[in-house]
Structure 1
Amino acid sequence: MNTSRTGSTAPPPRRSGRRLAGALLAGAVLLGAAGCGSPEAASGSGERKAGSPAGTTARTALAGLMKPVDSLPKPGPPVDTRAAAGKTVFYVPIALKVGHFPLVQKNLTTAFERVGVRLHSCDGQGTPSGISACLDQAVAQKPAAVITDYVPYELVPTTFEKVRASGIPVYVAGTAAPEGVRQSAAFAFGDPDAHGFTIMDGLADAVIADSDGAARVLFLKVMDSASTRRAADRAVEHFRKACPDCRVAVKEVGLSTMKDVPSLVSSALLTDPSITHVVPEYDTYLSAVVTGLQSVGRTRDVKIATTGATLATVQQLKSDDRLLAVVGVNPPYLGWTMADATLRMLAGEQPPATYPVLARAFTKDTVDGLALNPKDEASGRWFGDPAAYQDIFTGLWGARRPRRPHRSNSSGSPSPSGGSRPCAT
């Protein structure tokens, strides 16, 4: 596979805290969905391909990723959660109302209810000052533990250290530990690479399958964080290994240059009319890519694949012939893994370094079998039966039946008795 790259290959310049926080919102772990399919039906175009070795292998791999997940391995041994009952855990996502974070919050609340733990959510508002205000409030209110979500340690290191010094256990979800930072039962990280690499492999396989191993790809690599760069590199490497006859041109993009993406795409297509697929790393860039295609009249012959699979993106997949596949992870499941990690920390245990991956690929061949509505998006049913993981976790926690003292109402708003609620920052 031939690859070409534009933009500097040197390390990206140091970003201010505010720019880094804003950029990370574009690369957050996102929602995906799919249904069942045979290897022959795994091509996003719905056509059966001739069967090149690369195309056949990709269709087989993609078909496996399209299947609902009905079972998962246990992430660890049982944990004693009795001492956690009645305690409160703070949840501080980088931005509470953005992307998949409301789905994570809802499922964290449900999971903690099983063992009588309250969830108190605080909106980081996408800024270092907002995140620091939430963490400072945690220090003042002394919850049993704090969960941050997609907040890199490097963004607010002083505030993280303040929480650690207070003796409150901290689980840093959605980001890898920086070099030199030791993990323990009181300070642990949830590395996103296992999920990120899986969806990038699926993204590449969707394009290889659709082209029968002959794609000419424009790949948009998101440079906004270390995790987005690692994930993009994984996708390009998968193309290189799995598709020797594919050609991939890499363009570097970021949230701060979002306005330039349409012209970047149109320029690339004018320079190389042989491009068959444009692949933005995340669906955050989908609208900008479509605008670029429209500006050069290539909306009919160039296809798109991406990751994320929010409700809006999956609905677009159903109606837009340009979009051939979306691959994503299950935010409700992520909420349950965060609950498990936190409960283990409260029991004095270091949580697992990684949890089993729950990802799905979604193509036009499977969209008709899904209920595309907010309720099913929030439940995680697009990925299979939620009981596949809920029963595992509640069994490990010794809480097979839900407890109800802090249940949220049907609109997702906090009930008067407590539960999850935003805090002032």
Structure 2
Amino acid sequence: MAPLRAVAALALVTAFAAGCTRGSEAGSAATVSDSKAGCPAVLAKAKAAVKAAEDVNAAWDGPTTGPKAATGKTIVYVAQSMTNPGVAGAAEGVKEAAKAIGWKMRIIDGQGTPAGIQAALSQAVAVKPDGIVLSGFDPKSTAQQVAQANAAGIPLIGWHAVDAPGPSTDPKLFSNVTTKVQDVAKISADWVISQSNGRAGVVVFTDASIPFAKGKSDLIEKELAVCSDVKVLTTSNIPIADASSRTPQEVSALLSRFGTKWTNSVAINDLYFADAAPSLRASGKQGNGAPFNIGAGDGDPSAFQRINSKQFQTATVPEPLSEQGWQIVDEFNRAFAGKPASGYVAPAHITTADNSGGKSTWDPKGYREAYRKLWGK
């Protein structure tokens, strides 16, 4: 969920299940014990799903048909905040794709405040572009401006603007580009089950004040529960706005409360793990050891840095930001041609130090060539 990225990091947690012995290296964590987990069938499915999600060479599975490039179009990208890594990353993708298709593109920064976002969208509507991107904010917070754009016949495309991908009727969006929260939640839980070999003690970090975030953590816990030897030790509810101040104390308390039972953590957003590091270090934890942490969404550059340096985050489920930027441009091209939205949703991917290639973003292969071919460019 993009707005979460703009806010400071939160915390980590992980769990340990009775009867398991882990090495200190994250790479050795998969072989935890010779004893069988209590969910062999679930474990086998989780391992298969994780293996598929970690594939960096998967073939492009996006749209293969669509209208040729419209000419002379101008789109405006209204950003929740360009300091938000997800919003900024998607903007770069749109910029690159707009250049490839031959359109003009302008960015207006809402600077992270309700008033700023409303003003930015008002400005965007006023310049009468061919299309407007609503990036990283709830369109209902700009209902007046959205209504004006709708009335003017300006197609709106969201990036993480509403919960679900695809077209939206309320608010009226031609399409919303995002991964499916259900897919992200499931693969995050599958990773914990797989990484722990079906025996884990898990802390789940969420912000219950945000319905989307609470819904994601509920889905994660539901999926973890299908393995009888994976236990959710606790759900840590830390409001995003309070993350930097509350996370260090919360992590210290969790370590005191659960000790080695805490082997894994799942957070609704990567940034939660940034503030956990000091408390983990102070307790003698190693950056590449338990608790083993996965961020269920986003994959901003700081998360990649922690993962690549093996510092208190082992994995993330990143958004393919540049690819989504190209998809936004393709969706506009379909709107301009009077065609329906593509319906494409990027599959959930897992990044670890073993498959990141040392990079700071997840950038799948094949989409640039595929979209250029669609557009005749």
TM-score of the superposed pair, with normalisation by structure 2: 0.81
**Residues 177 and 212 of structure 1: CA distance in aligned 2, closer, same or farther (over 3 Å):** closer
Q: How far apart, CA to CA, are the structure 2 residues paired with 1:341 and 1:124?
A: 23
Return the offset for 1:173. Answer: 2.3
Contact 1:280 1:306 in 2 (8 A): yes
Q: Which amino acid in the other structure matches residue 57 of structure 1?
A: K
Return the offset for 1:167. Answer: 2.5
Of 156, 159, 166 in structure 2, the residue corresponding to residue 173 of structure 1 is 159
Partner of 2:69: 81
Q: Which amino acid in the other structure matches residue 6 of structure 2?
A: L
Contact 1:91 1:122 in 2 (8 A): yes
Of 176, 182, 188 in structure 2, the residue corresponding to residue 197 of structure 1 is 182
1:46 and 2:36 matched: no
Counterpart of 2:350 in 1: which secondary structure? strand
1:328 and 2:318 matched: yes
Counterpart of 1:292 in 2: which secondary structure? helix
Q: How far apart, CA to CA, are the structure 2 residues paired with 1:305 and 1:278?
A: 6
Q: How far apart, CA to CA, are the structure 2 residues paired with 1:47 and 1:21?
A: 30
Partner of 1:271: 257
Mapping 1:386-405, distance limit 5 Å? 388-399=366-377
Counterpart of 1:176 in 2: which secondary structure? coil
Return the offset for 1:335. Answer: 0.4
Counterpart of 2:235 in 1: which secondary structure? strand
Contact 1:96 1:102 in 2 (8 A): yes
Q: How far apart, CA to CA, are the structure 2 residues paired with 1:301 and 1:208?
A: 14
Return the offset for 1:298. Answer: 4.3
Partner of 2:278: 291
Mapping 1:10-409, distance limit 5 Å? 25-26=6-7, 44-49=26-31, 50=34, 52=37, 53=40, 54-75=42-63, 77-82=65-70, 85-176=71-162, 182=169, 187-190=173-176, 192=178, 194=180, 196-223=181-208, 225-241=210-226, 243-248=227-232, 249-258=234-243, 259-273=245-259, 274-299=261-286, 301-307=290-296, 308-320=298-310, 322-352=312-342, 354-367=343-356, 370-372=357-359, 377=361, 380-381=362-363, 383=364, 385=365, 388-399=366-377
Structure 1 unaligned residues grouped into runs of 5+: 1-19, 28-42, 400-425
Q: After superposition, what is the alpha-carbon deviation per residue over 1:186-245, rounded to whole angstroms, capped at 9, x for unaligned?
A: 732416352x3333322222222222111000110233533323322222121112x221
Q: Which amino acid in the other structure matches residue 303 of structure 2?
A: T
Contact 1:153 1:177 in 2 (8 A): no
Q: Which amino acid in the other structure matches residue 95 of structure 1?
A: S
Contact 1:66 1:361 in 2 (8 A): yes
Return the offset for 1:157. Answer: 1.3
Counterpart of 1:270 in 2: which secondary structure? helix
**Residues 74 and 286 of structure 1: CA distance in aligned 2, closer, same or farther (over 3 Å):** closer
Return 211-220 or 244-253, whichever deviates more. Answer: 244-253
**Residues 48 and 252 of structure 1: CA distance in aligned 2, closer, same or farther (over 3 Å):** closer
Contact 1:100 1:331 in 2 (8 A): yes
Counterpart of 1:247 in 2: which secondary structure? strand
Q: Which amino acid in the other structure matches residue 59 of structure 1?
A: K
Return the offset for 1:23. Answer: 5.2
**Residues 216 and 172 of structure 1: CA distance in aligned 2, closer, same or farther (over 3 Å):** same
**Residues 73 and 46 of structure 1: CA distance in aligned 2, closer, same or farther (over 3 Å):** same
Return 278-287 or 46-55, whichever deviates more. Answer: 46-55
Between the two proteins, the alignment pairs up a number of residues equal to 346
Q: How far apart, CA to CA, are the structure 1 residues paired with 2:321 and 2:142?
A: 24
Contact 2:155 2:173 in 1 (8 A): yes
Q: Which amino acid in the other structure matches residue 251 of structure 2?
A: V
TM-score of the superposed pair, with normalisation by structure 1: 0.73
Return the offset for 1:62. Answer: 1.2
Return the offset for 1:177. Answer: 6.9
Return the offset for 1:150. Answer: 1.6
Q: How far apart, CA to CA, are the structure 2 residues paired with 1:311 and 1:57?
A: 30
Q: Which amino acid in the other structure matches residue 132 of structure 2?
A: V
Q: Which amino acid in the other structure matches residue 270 of structure 2?
A: D
Task: Give the alignment's Cα RMSD to 1 decimal.
Answer: 2.9
Q: Which amino acid in the other structure matches residue 130 of structure 2?
A: A
Q: Which amino acid in the other structure matches residue 159 of structure 2?
A: A
Contact 2:64 2:370 in 1 (8 A): no
Q: After superposition, what is the alpha-carbon deviation per residue over 1:347-402, rounded to whole angstroms, capped at 9, x for unaligned?
A: 223314x42324421224334xx1436xxx4xx54x3x2xx112222222232xxx
Structure 2 unaligned residues grouped into runs of 5+: 9-24
**Residues 24 and 317 of structure 1: CA distance in aligned 2, closer, same or farther (over 3 Å):** closer
Q: Which amino acid in the other structure matches residue 189 of structure 2?
A: A
**Residues 302 and 80 of structure 1: CA distance in aligned 2, closer, same or farther (over 3 Å):** closer
Return the offset for 1:296. Answer: 4.1
